[in-house]
Chains A and B, each alone.
Chain A
Amino acid sequence: MTETSHPPVRDDQETSGSALPAIELTGVMKEYHAHGEKVAAVRGIDLAIGQGEFFSLLGPSGCGKTTTMRMIAGFEEPTGGEVLLNGKPVTDVPANKRDVNMVFQSYALFPHMSVFENVAFGLRRKGVAKDEIRRRVAAMLDIVDLAGREKRRPGELSGGQQQRVALARALVNRPRALLLDEPLGALDLKLRQHMQVELKRIQREVGITFVYVTHDQSEALTMSDRIAVMNDGRIEQLGSPREIYERPASKFVAGFIGTSNLLAGEIGEVRDTEAFITYGGDGQIVVPLDGRTAAPGDRLELTVRPEKIEIATQPPGGNGAGSAGGGYSGSRVRAKVAEVVYLGTSTNYIVTTAAGDEVTVFLQNATNADDIAGRGDDVWLSWEPRHSYAIGAS
Chain B
Amino acid sequence: MRRLRGALTPYLLMLPAGLWLLVFFAIPLVYMASVSLMTGNLIDGWKLTWHWQNYTEGLDVYGDKLLRSLWYGLIATVACIVLAYPAAYWIAFKGGRHKSTWLFLLLLPFFVSFVLRTISWKLVLTDNGPILGPLKSWGLLPDGFHVLDSGFAVISGLTYNFLPFMVLPIYVALERIDYRTIEAAYDLYAGRVEVFRRVVLPLSLPGVFAGVIMTFVPVTSDYVNAQVLGGPGNTMIGNVIQAEYFTNSNYHTASALSFTLMALLLIGIFAYARALGTKDVLEAAGR
Contacts and interface: CB of A to CB of B under 8 A. Distances in A.
A271 interface: no
A112 B282 contact: yes
A125 B190 contact: yes
Interface residues of A, number: 29
Nearest to B286: A113
Contacts of A170: 187-188
Given A121-B188, A126-B189, A108 B183 contact: yes
Nearest to A119: B188
Interface in B144-194: 178, 180-181, 183-191, 194
Contact of B287 (A102, A104, A117): A117
Given A96-B190, A96-B191, A126-B189, A108 B286 contact: no
Interface in A204-241: none
Contact of B181 (A74, A95, A111): A111
A9 B216 CA distance: 64
Given A104-B180, A106-B178, A125-B194, A112 B286 contact: yes
B279 A95 contact: no
A117 B279 CA distance: 13
B77 to A, nearest CB: 23
Contacts of B187: 73-75, 95-96, 101-102, 170
A112 B279 contact: yes
Q: What DSSP secondary structure best describes chain B's contact surface? A: helix
B181 A108 contact: yes
B178 A96 contact: no
B177 to A, nearest CB: 9
A111 B285 CA distance: 12
A171 B251 CA distance: 69
Q: What DSSP secondary structure best describes chain A's contact surface? A: loop
Contact of B183 (A104, A109, A117, A173): A104
A173 B283 contact: no
A215 B279 CA distance: 38
Nearest to A105: B180
A122 B178 contact: no
Interface string B255-287: 000000000000000000000000100110111
B202 interface: yes
Contacts of A122: 188-189
Interface in B57-83: none
Most chain-A Cβ atoms within 10 A of its Cβ — which of B186, B187, B190?
A: B187
Most chain-A Cβ atoms within 10 A of its Cβ — which of B184, B285, B286?
A: B184
B203 interface: yes
Nearest to B183: A75
A96 B199 CA distance: 15
Nearest to A126: B189
A53 B287 CA distance: 33
A108 B188 contact: no
B184 A112 contact: no
A117 to B, nearest CB: 6
A125 B197 CA distance: 12
B115 to A, nearest CB: 41
Contacts of A113: 282-283, 286-287
A94 interface: yes
Interface in B2-36: none
Nearest to B287: A117
Interface of A: 73-75, 94-97, 101-102, 104-106, 108-114, 117, 121-122, 124-126, 153, 169-170, 173
8 A-B pairs with the lowest CB-CB distances in the bound complex, closest first: A122-B188, A108-B180, A125-B189, A112-B282, A108-B184, A95-B186, A113-B286, A108-B181
Given A97-B189, A101-B187, A108-B184, 8 more contacts: A75-B183, A75-B186, A96-B186, A101-B188, A110-B199, A122-B188, A170-B188, A173-B188
12 contacts: A74-B187, A96-B186, A96-B190, A101-B187, A104-B180, A110-B198, A110-B199, A111-B203, A113-B287, A114-B283, A117-B283, A126-B189
